[in-house]
Structure 1
Amino acid sequence: MDLDINTVRMARTRADCALRPGEAFLGGGTFLYSEPVPAGVTGLVDLTGLGWEPWSVDGSGLRVSGTCTLEELVAGPGALGAASGTSDVGSGPYRALGIVGECVSALSLSPKVARTATVGGNLALGLPAGSMAGLFAALDALAVVWTLDGGCREVPVSSLVTGAGVVDLAPGEVLREIRVPAATLGQRTVFRRASLTPTGRTAAMVTGRALSSSRLDGDVPPRVRLVLTASVPAPIVLELGPGEHGELDRLIDGIDASAWYEDTHGIPAWRAAMTRRLAHEAFEELGGTA
């Protein structure tokens, strides 16, 4: 690591988040420490000094701070999801969070990195394999962003990442928290992932949610929300009715061939084929059969 900077400031209040020339925000910093410092960056502002509560849950839903570490996400919301169970009969109150652990594991992190890397950092990087976008987009979450004028704005997580490494954050804006509405917390979710090797970077990922609390909701199979990530530069959200496997194929066929992501972890044609397979599996698990 060659971290060639001049200053590091610890932010204690929102006023401390006003960037000075040459400064950039620091969350966990695990990605920053693995890459050259971006050109022009001479100082860092550490957001962890703001002392945000990692996560909380109440009648309005789940809130996850931007500085919540991935370890804290698994130990908190992930544990709530695991305790709720995944049975098709009945519904645990936090059942949708059952995919939290899988989404974090998809990052192939060491425990040391998981203790430091943050939810906000993963989202703000906008990397195709950054699985927090797939997790929170499936949960219909909103990102709360602190704006430069002292206010805040909300952005659906599904549209926060707009391209490979491109996010809907203006210079100086801060990703304050992620809000998951209470209505989604008891719904069934699904996770599917593919990579070239068992421990390799995620090359295709599908997360999803049944848009009802139970598979047998008045004997009517639920509509399903699927989110495609890792194989594409930005999340693609699909919503399907019972039995619409043909529609799912049509929607995937409609993705422009040039839109499939390519790097050393998978060629576009393979990523597209794997995404199709995973999407059908996820759809079926969530009640896609009429």
Structure 2
Amino acid sequence: MDLNTITEVVRHPGDRPGAHWREGDAWLAGGTWLFSTEQPDLRRLVDLTALRWDPLVRDAAGLEIGATCTVRDLYAFAPPDDWRAGGLLAASCEAFLSSFKVWNSATVGGNICMSLPAGPMITLTVALEAEYELWPPDGPARRVDALDFVTGDHQNVLAPGEILRRVRIPGRALEKHAAHRRFTLTHLGRSTVFLIGTRTPGTDDLLLTVTAGTTRPVRLAFDTMPDARTLQQSIDAIPAHLWFADPNGTPEHRHHLTTYFAEEIRGELTAGV
């Protein structure tokens, strides 16, 4: 779509692009959402791809994902064998409501910053206990737990001019056992619910991440594997106002699916103890 209110595109921003942020600006990375709808309040686009941030960096601490890393690059990444949860990277890419053509442009950071309930990069990074590095317009960078970044449907903690620079996933989370479940109304549809459970090797703990069915991610943590009743009670305790409603499902439907799939995940991870 033509954005007929745009008067300038900043092709080569400085290394700290937020320093020159002004009202009416938008960060441009993949642009797959930006160019899909009218943006009447925008006057200037700031092209982040010119900064050439490394898309993926594997080191002793885990995995670093640059905010401008494309879905295609993440999907193509081959995790090492000792990253038991590494399969979640590709599985989360496959949860996008988009074609492979969009994968060539859509970015990990863009999906996170859109902060939609069904954002699969949010599901992935919260489940793997990631940390986001945010760059304010001025001052030092700050780090935010992925769980705390999204605050509601299309809402997050970013301040005006602040930018998501990178995502850090710790190696200890990638080494966990993992199981996931996802439901859509159609084969390639938007997620109605998307759940991921992880278990630390040699223990019977459980970390269950609930997304898509709620307006923000919900994490249920257990030091020991809960029984079915305890798990259901924990899901029932999720505040009613957090359950999401849209054409893909009612809050009641999403609550039911979450309970059903959470028990499947519990059973799958219990079998591996």
TM over 0.5: yes
User: Alignment identity in percent?
Assistant: 36
Note the C-alpha offset of 1:196.
1.3
Q: Are 1:172 and 2:155 matched, yes or no?
A: no
Contact 1:103–1:191 at 8 Å: present in 2 too? no
Q: Are 1:227 and 2:246 matched, yes or no?
A: no
Note the C-alpha offset of 1:289.
9.0
How far apart are the structure 2 equivalents of 1:257 and 1:150? 38
How far apart are the structure 2 equivalents of 1:49 and 1:289? 45
> Given the two structures, how large is their TM-score scaled by the length of structure 2?
0.94
Aligned to 1:29: 31
Aligned to 2:11: 10
Which shifted more, 193-202 or 122-131? 193-202
How far apart are the structure 1 equivalents of 2:8 and 2:14? 18
Residues 1:256 and 1:243: Cα distance change in structure 2 (over 3 Å) = closer
Note the C-alpha offset of 1:16.
3.5
How far apart are the structure 2 equivalents of 1:207 and 1:287? 14
Aligned to 1:42: 43
Alignment counterpart, residue 253 of structure 1, candidates 233, 236, 248:
236
Give the gaps of 5 or more residues in structure 1.
Answer: 85-91
Aligned to 1:87: none
Give the gaps of 5 or more residues in structure 2.
Answer: none
Which shifted more, 48-57 or 15-24? 15-24
Aligned to 1:89: none
Alignment counterpart, residue 286 of structure 1, candidates 257, 269, 272:
269
Deviations 1:71-92 (A, max 9, x none): 101111xx21xxx5xxxxxxx3
How far apart are the structure 2 equivalents of 1:287 and 1:230? 24
Alignment counterpart, residue 140 of structure 2, candidates 124, 129, 151:
151
How far apart are the structure 2 equivalents of 1:156 and 1:71? 25
Deviations 1:97-130 (A, max 9, x none): 2111111111132111001000000000000010
Aligned to 1:244: 227
Aligned to 1:208: 197
Contact 2:17–2:137 at 8 Å: present in 1 too? no
How far apart are the structure 2 equivalents of 1:41 and 1:200? 30
Deviations 1:134-179 (A, max 9, x none): 1011111000001222310110111111100001111101100000
Deviations 1:170-189 (A, max 9, x none): 11011000001122222111
Aligned to 1:275: 258
Look up the equivalent residue of 1:129 and give its one-letter code. Answer: A
How far apart are the structure 2 equivalents of 1:2 and 1:12? 22
How far apart are the structure 1 equivalents of 2:219 and 2:7? 42
Contact 1:127–1:164 at 8 Å: present in 2 too? yes
How far apart are the structure 1 equivalents of 2:16 and 2:54? 19
* 1:286 alignment partner, SS class: helix
How many residues end up aligned between the 2 structures? 270
Note the C-alpha offset of 1:24.
1.4
Look up the equivalent residue of 2:28 and give its one-letter code. Answer: L
Which shifted more, 20-29 or 267-276? 20-29
Alignment counterpart, residue 187 of structure 1, candidates 151, 162, 176:
176
* 2:270 alignment partner, SS class: coil
Deviations 1:38-92 (A, max 9, x none): x42111101111110101111111100000000101111xx21xxx5xxxxxxx3
Which shifted more, 21-30 or 124-133? 21-30
Contact 1:224–1:288 at 8 Å: present in 2 too? no
CA RMSD of aligned residues (A): 1.7
Contact 1:225–1:239 at 8 Å: present in 2 too? yes
Q: Are 1:20 and 2:22 matched, yes or no?
A: yes
How far apart are the structure 2 equivalents of 1:243 and 1:288? 13
How far apart are the structure 1 equivalents of 2:157 and 2:53? 22
How far apart are the structure 2 equivalents of 1:275 and 1:23? 38
> Given the two structures, how large is their TM-score scaled by the length of structure 1?
0.88
Contact 1:245–1:288 at 8 Å: present in 2 too? no
Residues 1:11 and 1:163: Cα distance change in structure 2 (over 3 Å) = farther
* 2:164 alignment partner, SS class: strand
Contact 1:242–1:288 at 8 Å: present in 2 too? no
